[in-house]
Amino acid sequence: MKQILKDIIGFTSALNKIDLLLYFAVLVLIILVVSLIYIIKTSDEEEIELERENHLDNEDDLQSIVTNLENNHLPALELTDYEAEQEARAIISYNELLEKNKMGQIRYEESKTNNDEVSIKKIDLGHLTVDTQKQQKNVVFLNYEREEEFLKNLQALNKILN
């Protein structure tokens, strides 16, 4: 122990006054930085706890808002004169759009097939009905010869580009 004290006294006596001042200034700065880091970490933990408490309060508020929205219906919109005029002059009114949205099944007046691949159908707008069952979609694949021809054309194009 005496040897360690002699070494420390010998080290400090070898330094001049400016070196000692700088040494102690660095030690003070290190202590300040460590204490600042400790203060920041503890304040973050307190903020997190406060946020958790606020979050629980917000959940209660959100629940009350949701129940209020479910119980209360929105009032009808009051249209201005301009909006009423536009609604009257519109090709299809907003209410008609909402009613058409409820319709599920589309009937077709006529159907044409173009090049055995593309089917073109004309919709019968007068007889839209609600579809309770989902229809199965018919998937039309290209025949094998056309797929082979298409593949050969792609390979030829690749050779030309390379």
Asked if 122 and 108 count as a contact pair (C-beta separation under 8 A), the reply is: yes
Whether 56 is in a domain gets the answer yes
Which of 71, 89, 110 terminates a domain? The answer is 71
Whether 52 is in a domain gets the answer yes
User: pLDDT by residue (tens digit) across 33-76?
Assistant: 999 998 888 877 777 777 777 666 666 676 777 777 777 766 66
Both structure tokens of 85: 């005029």
DSSP secondary structure code for residue 125 in this structure: G
Domain of 35, in residue numbers: 2-71
User: pLDDT by residue (tens digit) across 95-126?
Assistant: 777 776 666 666 777 777 777 777 777 777 77
The number of folded domains in the chain is 2
Judge if 53 and 112 occupy the same domain: no
Judge if 12 and 60 occupy the same domain: yes
Whether 93 is in a domain gets the answer no
Asked if 87 and 93 count as a contact pair (C-beta separation under 8 A), the reply is: yes
Residue with tokens 């039309």: 140
Whether 82 is in a domain gets the answer no
Helix (H, G, I), strand (E, B) or coil at 96: helix
pLDDT at 150 over 70: yes
Whether 80 is in a domain gets the answer no
